[in-house]
């Protein structure tokens, strides 16, 4: 069974987790550490993880998984007891966060709701991401495979990242690509990963200009007699509330 030393370490880590929430969550301004400990789901999930992880390291069977399962039911945050998480992790809002078995997380990392640190398939061994110190991962981002996210990097909301991310960079999109490194725009001919080409729109445009050419040729072949142009029906507006609305 884990001894007093391990217990003291867990208490120290939880204390730092609470301070991380106070520092990095604007909603926690003026809220006491006791209230954060009692009402922040990210803190509950981490507290449970730290206990489950200590039990897992001590070789206690079943209990670590039971703790993880109950915590997921309570907070919507699933952290595998074998994951390695250093101090100062802050999980904001929490729901839908998944942290896989071979994930390694450094100091002072921030995760928003819906983040997945997962594998790409059925590989075994190290198959989940390594997140270095001071990384921020936006809501809904999926980081998949044994990749490394360099220290100080920011991952944009809803990005899908399957390759290593350089330190101090900002990565956005699907697939995720750096748009800033050390605060500067990424330069080079292929650097614009935000305004990606739309292959379907390009194919429709090519077909449309081909039809126009054919219609011109038919008009010429029919001694200048104007042929009826292909009917293009305008799209009907979508009924119901505006999908772009807040
Ligand atoms: C990526 C992020 C961290 C911003 O980083 P930043 O270093 O300040 O970068 P910028 O805001 O200058 O954005 C850089 C470029 O990426 C684009 N971008 C930013 N976030 C993006 C995202 N999530 N998806 C796609 N593109 C994005 C910007 O439009 C900008 O494009 P430009 O170079 O053409 O102007 C931020 O946009 C983000 O996604 N944060 C997550 C926050 C979150 O999840 N909040 C939930 C609260 S409940």
Q: Are 170 and 178 in contact (CB under 8 A)?
A: yes
Ligand 1 midpoint to CA 3 (Å): 45
The string of pLDDT tens digits covering residues 102-144 is 999 999 999 999 999 999 988 889 999 999 999 999 999 999 9
> Quick check: CB of 112 below 6 Å from ligand 1?
yes
Judged by DSSP in three states, 170 sits in strand
Cα separation, 151 vs 107, whole angstroms:
10
> Quick check: CB of 154 below 6 Å from ligand 1?
yes
Ligand 1 midpoint to CA 172 (Å): 7
Ligand 1 midpoint to CA 179 (Å): 9
List the one residue out of 167, 162, 135 whose CA is nearest residue 146: 162
When mean pLDDT is compared across 154-158, 176-180, 194-198, the lowest value belongs to 194-198
For atom 17 of ligand 1, the residue with the nearest CA is 172
Above 50 in pLDDT, residue 246? no
The string of pLDDT tens digits covering residues 13-31 is 888 989 999 999 999 988 9
- Is 0.85 surpassed by the pTM of this model? no
List the one residue out of 83, 71, 74 whose CA is nearest residue 117: 83
Number of helices followed by number of strands (H, E) in the chain: 5, 16
Cα separation, 173 vs 170, whole angstroms:
10
Q: Which residue has the higher pLDDT, 33 or 2?
A: 33
> Quick check: CB of 157 below 6 Å from ligand 1?
yes
Ligand 1 midpoint to CA 171 (Å): 8
């Amino acid at each position: 069974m884990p001894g007093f030393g391990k217990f003291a370490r867990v208490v120290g880590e939880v204390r730092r987790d609470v301070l991380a929430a106070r520092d990095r969550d604007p909603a926690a301004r003026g809220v006491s550490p006791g209230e954060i400990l009692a009402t922040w789901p990210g803190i509950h999930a981490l507290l449970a993880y730290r206990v489950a992880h200590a039990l897992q390291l001590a070789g206690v069977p079943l209990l670590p998984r039971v703790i993880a399962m109950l915590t997921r039911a309570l907070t919507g945050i699933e952290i595998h007891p074998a994951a390695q998480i250093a101090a100062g992790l802050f999980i904001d809002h929490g729901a839908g966060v998944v942290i896989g078995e071979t994930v390694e997380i450094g100091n002072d990392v921030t995760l928003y709701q819906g983040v997945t640190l997962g594998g790409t398939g059925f590989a075994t061994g190290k198959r989940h991401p390594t997140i270095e110190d001071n990384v921020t991962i936006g809501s809904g981002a999926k980081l998949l495979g044994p990749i490394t996210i360099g220290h100080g990097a920011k991952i944009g909301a809803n990005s899908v990242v399957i390759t290593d991310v350089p330190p101090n960079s900002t990565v956005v999109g699907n697939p995720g690509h750096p748009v800033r490194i050390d605060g500067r725009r990424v330069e080079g001919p292929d650097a614009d990963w935000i305004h990606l080409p739309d292959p379907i729109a390009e194919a429709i445009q090519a077909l449309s200009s081909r039809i126009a050419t054919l219609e011109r040729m038919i008009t010429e072949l029919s001694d200048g007699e104007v042929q009826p142009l292909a009917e293009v029906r305008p799209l009907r507006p979508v009924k119901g509330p505006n999908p772009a609305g807040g």
